[in-house]
Structure 1
Amino acid sequence: MTVLQGRLADRDAWSAVGQCPIELTMGLVGTKSAMLILREAYYGTTRFDDFARRVGITKAATSARLAELVEAGLLTKRPYREPGQRSRDEYVLTPSGVDFMPVVWSMFEWGRKHVNDTRLRMTHLGCGAEATVEVRCAEGHEVPFSELGVKVVRR
């Protein structure tokens, strides 16, 4: 269990509604299609039609999700032009989008273990070993969830 520290320890004295990073993140990417578009972006997809086809959603839904992810700062539009064609936009990850990758990989890992143990595995390209997502402190220690705390800090 995660330990709430300081003034957060008294659960009745405060409310996380509207302030919780989980809630705010879900407000940005809380749809299945948004998460799958991000998955595809991590796999190198950049073109509108490819997102629609690979995620299995309508063009209207693709347009809406891509616009939301651009507005959220996870994707950015980059113009391109095929010879003889009109100029179009492709969608690429921003640094913020790249920072979101561990969330997607955590969902991949959890889903593989608890929903459908497929043969898919994350691996370290350097040595071939299976890779996992973990929490580490700023000193580099792996932090088990039983030792994880949440507190308010000054900016």
Structure 2
Amino acid sequence: MEWTSVDLGNCPIVRALDVLGNRWTLIVLREAFNGVHRFEDFLDHLGISPSVLSRRLKEMVDEGLLSREPYRETGDRERYEYRPTAKAWDLYPVIVGLMQWGDRYLGDADGPPIQLTDVTTGKTVVAAIVPQGTPTCSPSDLRVEPGDSIRLRPSGHC
């Protein structure tokens, strides 16, 4: 079979980009994967405008990437947290691969700002294409650690 004979009218890459093609979608997912779940925390950490964040979170909930879960601090009104769904976690290897590609081709000379390590072996984790059925790491098997070029932002600043 030649690639040029494949009908691309129903291309899964095009369909995926319809959902993920906005940069803020992937950035919000990165944050949610790393424990940021509250609207105010997304705002503080990302420096995104409230209207853009509200729109993006709604779209991600509508697409089934995030679940919207209520919480209430004592004396405050009910608010919502946004948690990655199984559909979002299935994108985790894609996000890791994109991060590692960015580190390799667009990164700082000092090295990556973070690296993922396997909690059991301590080995650095890499995104890869493997045969079906090959054991892989789940996100709970990983630890985010500072890389050589880590830069921490001053507290209270974006």
TM-score range, shorter chain: 0.7 to 0.9
Task: Give me the whole-angstrom Cα distance separating, in 1, the residues matched to 2:80 and 2:7.
Answer: 41
The match for 1:94 is 85
- Give the TM-score taking structure 1 as reference length: 0.79
**In the aligned structure 2, how far is the partner of 1:128 from the partner of 1:139?**
23
**Counterparts in 2 of 1:93-112, with a 5 A limit?**
93-112=84-103
2:26 match: 35
1:26 match? 17
Deviation at 1:53, TM superposition (A): 2.0
Deviates more, 1:21-30 or 1:77-86: 21-30
Partner of residue 136 from structure 1, selected from 130, 134, 137? 130
Counterpart selection for 1:16 from 8, 11, 15: 8
Deviates more, 1:52-61 or 1:35-44: 52-61
**Pairwise CA distance, 1:95:** 0.8
Higher RCO structure (Cα 8 Å, ≥6 apart): 1
* CA–CA distance in structure 1, aligned partners of residues 97 and 3 of structure 2: 29
Deviation at 1:93, TM superposition (A): 0.8
User: Bigger radius of gyration, 1 or 2?
Assistant: 1
Q: Secondary structure at the match of 1:122?
A: strand
Taking the aligned partners of 1:34 and 1:106, their CA distance within structure 2 comes to: 16
Paired residues in the alignment total 133
- SS of the residue corresponding to residue 125 of structure 2 reads coil
Unaligned runs of 5+ in 2: 136-158
CA distance 1:126–1:63, shift in 2 (3 Å): same
Q: Shift in Å at residue 51 of structure 1?
A: 1.1
Taking every aligned residue pair, what percent have the same amino acid on both sides? 30
Deviates more, 1:112-121 or 1:35-44: 112-121
Tell me if structure 2 keeps the 8 A contact 1:80–1:89: yes
Matches within 5 A, 1:25-64: 25-64=16-55
Q: SS at the partner of 1:136? A: coil
Task: Report the secondary structure of 2:116's partner residue.
Answer: coil
Please give the alpha-carbon distance, in whole angstroms, between the structure 1 residues aligned to 2:3 and 2:90. Answer: 31
